[in-house]
Every structure is written in C-alpha cells, then in structure tokens.
Structure 1
Amino acid sequence: MVISVLNQLCKVIPTWKLIPTQDIIEAAFRDPNVRIEIRANPYCYKGRPRLKTGNELLAVSMDLEKRLNEVKLPFIVAHGEADIVTDPAVSKLLYETATSTDKTLKLYPGLWHSLTYGELPENLDVVFSDIIDWLDEKVALGNGRLERELKQANDDDIVFKPVAAS
C-alpha cells in the first residue's frame, strides 16, 4: 500500500523534498572537523532527499535484500554498531545469507556510519588495519593459487618426446 502510494506520488511530485530524515552529516560523521569540511563542500548535497530519490533507494534496497544469497565472491563487510544511517542488522544478514565461502564481517562497537572518513583517528586506524589485513590475506591466497594455475598450465603445454637412440 505504502509503496503503491509512493509510486503514484513520484509521478506527480518527484522532486519534492518530502522524505523526513535527520541531518545525515550529523548522523554519519563523528569527527566534528569532518562535518565542517563536508558542509563547506559545494559538491556535497545537503538537503533532504527528493521523493523520487527516496523511492528508488527503497526499491533498490528491497531488491538487494531479496538477493543477498546470490553473493558468491569473497567479501568483507565493515559496519559501525552505533550507525544510525544504515542498520547493522542488514550487514549481519548479508554475512549470514550470502553463499560465498569466503566472507568476513567486522562490527565495530561504538563506531558510526562513516568508518573510513569521519571517524576519530584512532578508530580509522583500526578499520583500515582490518581492511588491509583482509586484502593482504586475499593477495597471498590469490598469488599461491595463481602460481599453481600457471604451473599446471605450463606443465600441460610441455610434451615430453622420447629421445631417439643414435
């Protein structure tokens, strides 16, 4: 019912700023200096979402949530448990539902939405360290796998011919 009404309203008033939201900058960025920087950035949209934008975000979110089981590639999810912009429960759901056999969930107690820019410096160090460690692990595993694959391909190309006796 609500979705149907939203879809109809979007046909008539798509650009109206009707979505009731909190100040996203205040909610996403813990570091007050980053908030000042974001507010001063002329390219950063600071208004409330337009009706059509909110409706599209809702539709995409609902579709993605239905398809979490299709995620098969390796991934890491990092989420602040004090995030009030996006629900950490969705990150947990992705981790639990994805069919990937190589998945990592990092939840950070007390951290906010913007984990890689906007958190306090000591928190940024922890988050980036976890991400870099995860990437290093993937590179190490990938290099070992690549070496085995290249060796096998090379061995398959080598044809041993008996040397004729003279």
Structure 2
Amino acid sequence: MKLFTCRWLPSSEPKGLIFLCHGYGMECSIFMKDTGIRLAKAGYAVHGIDYEGHGKSSGLQGYIKDFDALVTDCSEHFTGICERKENSKKLRFIMGESMGGAVVLLLHRKKPAFWDGAILLAPMCKIADDVKPNQFVISALTKLTRIIPTWKIIPTPDIVDLAFREPAVRKEVRDSPYCYKGRPRLQTAYQLLTISLDIEKRLQEVSLPFLLLHGGDDKVTDPSVSKLLHEKAISSDKTFKLYPGMWHSLSRGETAENTEIVFSDITKWLDEKTATGNAKLERELKSGNDALHTDSSGKTILVE
C-alpha cells in the first residue's frame, strides 16, 4: 500500500507543525494546497497525507474498509515527523475539515497528551439529517454491506452541490481525477455512520485545546453538534465560532472575503498558542539550566 504525502514549508524556522486531515473524497496536495500555502506563509510547517483510497494514494477510490486503519496511517506518519530531532521542541497541531475533523478527534483519542491543539472545520461529529438516508434504508444497506461492500448504491444528494458555495470550486472538484464524486460505497458509508455515532456519544472525552469553526448554513455536517462538542468537551481551552450564512467547506469553497475571515481566525489562534507554548518552553529550559551548577573542578552538578 503506497500512501501519498506532501508538505509546505516556511522560508524561515517554523513556529510549529500543522498536520492536515482532508475530507471524504478529497485530497491534500491539490484541493488543500491553498490551505498549506497560507499556513506556511504564516510561519508554520504543514504536512498532509492522502488516505487509502483517496487522492494520489493506493486503494480503491472512495473506499474506506476500516476507519481505525485510516487513523493509524495518519498517526504513524504524523508522529514520525514530530519525533524527528529538528522537530522535537516544536508545537504540534492537527487540522481537519469535515471527515478530517473526525480523523483529528480520533488521533487525539489515540494519543490524548501528544497534540498541543486542534483546528476543527465543520467536523463530522454527526452526519446532517438532510444527507443521511432514513433508518429503514440504513438497516437494509447495513445487511448488504456484508455481501457487496464496494458497491456504490447509497442514495444521497450531490455532496458537491451542498458543500461548496462557489461554482468555480464545484467545477474544479468535479473535473479533478483525484476527488471522488460517485455515490458512497456501502462499506464506506457504514464506516462513516458508525464513526460519527461513536464520536457523538463521546464528545466529553475531548481534552486538548481546540478552535472549532462551522458555517451556519452547513447542509453536510450538523452545526448544532459542533456547538454540543464545544459545550461537552472537558478542554479548558476551547473556542467555537459559527459563521452565519457560510456553507460546509470553509477552507475552500467560500467567497474570497469569507475565506480571508476564516484564515484570519485560524492564524490568530495559532499565533496565540505558539507564543504561549514557546514562552513556556523557554521558561522550562531556563529553569533546567538554572538547576545546573559547575563546581571548581569544572564538573556540572545538579543543584537539588
């Protein structure tokens, strides 16, 4: 299995590390390129990965056999970058949109103390009722999943029309061979539904600092559940912003004016977190150095 990865680096020493988790049917290097460039220009090293069955990675397009395996792939790649010597002292942020928001929450669940913060854009904590099939259809399709898991027969509205406000972006998504536009495959839909229900039940387990952004007119994921996440999460540092009139895709798909508002909020939050985190690190290093003392023979001893 070959997984495609990409990165955008600032011209100077990065303030911190940001790891991108793209949405269902999307990919990182083209669709999230604008996000990567914006954040790199703001001074951050940005890394992305295309999930199995997505973008330029291997696998049946649009097929998610096991969501846990998808999260594990992201975790191994992202933590490997964090553990490099040059990155060992840098703050670590995970950023996800839509289904990528669910990936972020599960990465946090896998290693609760590892990440310094998360940016969640219209996270998939619950699939909106307008998109989700009725319970009878769900029950029937769940049984079929065991027999024909890769079939594309889930009856859903056109997500492209619902997610992206700007017609030019809709056309770009439809024209891209790396974006999946067909009906959801049975196993994929089952995995997305199962994960969203699981996350919705465990919102109170979220403990890391986070910035949560959602469009008020989102018809793909439910803004009310984002509000519930903000209320239930045990994080002491959490911010929720609801943008009236905005649609589902906040990083790409809104008007230029709205996109500037969203990224201004993101970079402001990141800069505040890195300034606080780096100041804390400097204090800890200074405290460590102050605890060391050189005696008359030139040996360094620890002062208790």
TM-score by length of 1: 0.89
- In structure 1, C-alpha distance between the alignment counterparts of 2:206 and 2:150, rounded to whole Å: 34
Structure number with greater CO (CA < 8 Å, separation at least 6) is 1
- In structure 2, C-alpha distance between the alignment counterparts of 1:160 and 1:85, rounded to whole Å: 66
Q: CA shift at 1:7, angstroms?
A: 3.6
Q: CA shift at 1:92, angstroms?
A: 0.9
Aligned to 2:263: 128
**Helix, strand or coil at the partner of 2:214:** strand
**Helix, strand or coil at the partner of 1:42:** coil
Q: CA shift at 1:160, angstroms?
A: 7.3
- In structure 1, C-alpha distance between the alignment counterparts of 2:182 and 2:153, rounded to whole Å: 11
**Helix, strand or coil at the partner of 1:118:** coil
Aligned to 2:205: 70
Aligned to 1:164: none
Aligned to 1:102: 237
Given candidates 87, 97, 115, the residue that maps to 2:250 is 115
- After superposition, the CA RMSD in angstroms is 1.8
Structure with greater strand percent = 2
Asked if 1:22 corresponds to 2:157, the answer is: yes
- In structure 1, C-alpha distance between the alignment counterparts of 2:140 and 2:173, rounded to whole Å: 34
- In structure 2, C-alpha distance between the alignment counterparts of 1:5 and 1:22, rounded to whole Å: 19
- In structure 1, C-alpha distance between the alignment counterparts of 2:246 and 2:295, rounded to whole Å: 61
Matching residue's letter, 1:59: T
Given candidates 153, 167, 182, the residue that maps to 1:32 is 167
* Percent of pairs with identical residues: 61
Q: CA shift at 1:4, angstroms?
A: 6.0
Aligned to 1:84: 219
Matching residue's letter, 1:129: S
Aligned to 1:146: 281
Ranges in structure 1 where 5+ consecutive residues have no aligned partner: 162-166
- In structure 1, C-alpha distance between the alignment counterparts of 2:276 and 2:192, rounded to whole Å: 36
Are residues 5 and 32 of structure 1, via their aligned partners in 2, closer, same or farther at CA, if it must alter by over 3 Å?
Answer: closer
TM-score by length of 2: 0.50
Q: CA shift at 1:97, angstroms?
A: 1.0
- In structure 1, C-alpha distance between the alignment counterparts of 2:139 and 2:294, rounded to whole Å: 66
Number of residue equivalences: 161
- In structure 1, C-alpha distance between the alignment counterparts of 2:139 and 2:258, rounded to whole Å: 42
- In structure 2, C-alpha distance between the alignment counterparts of 1:94 and 1:56, rounded to whole Å: 21
Cα deviation 1:3-45 (Å, max 9, x = unaligned): 7654422112222323221111110010111111111101111
Are residues 99 and 23 of structure 1, via their aligned partners in 2, closer, same or farther at CA, if it must alter by over 3 Å?
Answer: same
- In structure 1, C-alpha distance between the alignment counterparts of 2:139 and 2:249, rounded to whole Å: 32
Ranges in structure 2 where 5+ consecutive residues have no aligned partner: 1-134, 297-304
- In structure 1, C-alpha distance between the alignment counterparts of 2:228 and 2:154, rounded to whole Å: 26
Q: CA shift at 1:157, angstroms?
A: 2.2
- In structure 2, C-alpha distance between the alignment counterparts of 1:62 and 1:51, rounded to whole Å: 17
Aligned to 2:291: 156
- In structure 2, C-alpha distance between the alignment counterparts of 1:158 and 1:69, rounded to whole Å: 46
Which of the pair has more CA radius of gyration? 1
Cα deviation 1:39-66 (Å, max 9, x = unaligned): 1101111111112111110111111112
- In structure 2, C-alpha distance between the alignment counterparts of 1:96 and 1:20, rounded to whole Å: 33
- In structure 2, C-alpha distance between the alignment counterparts of 1:123 and 1:30, rounded to whole Å: 11
Structure with greater helix percent = 1
Aligned to 1:13: 148
Cα deviation 1:72-95 (Å, max 9, x = unaligned): 111111110100010011211111
Matching residue's letter, 1:142: G
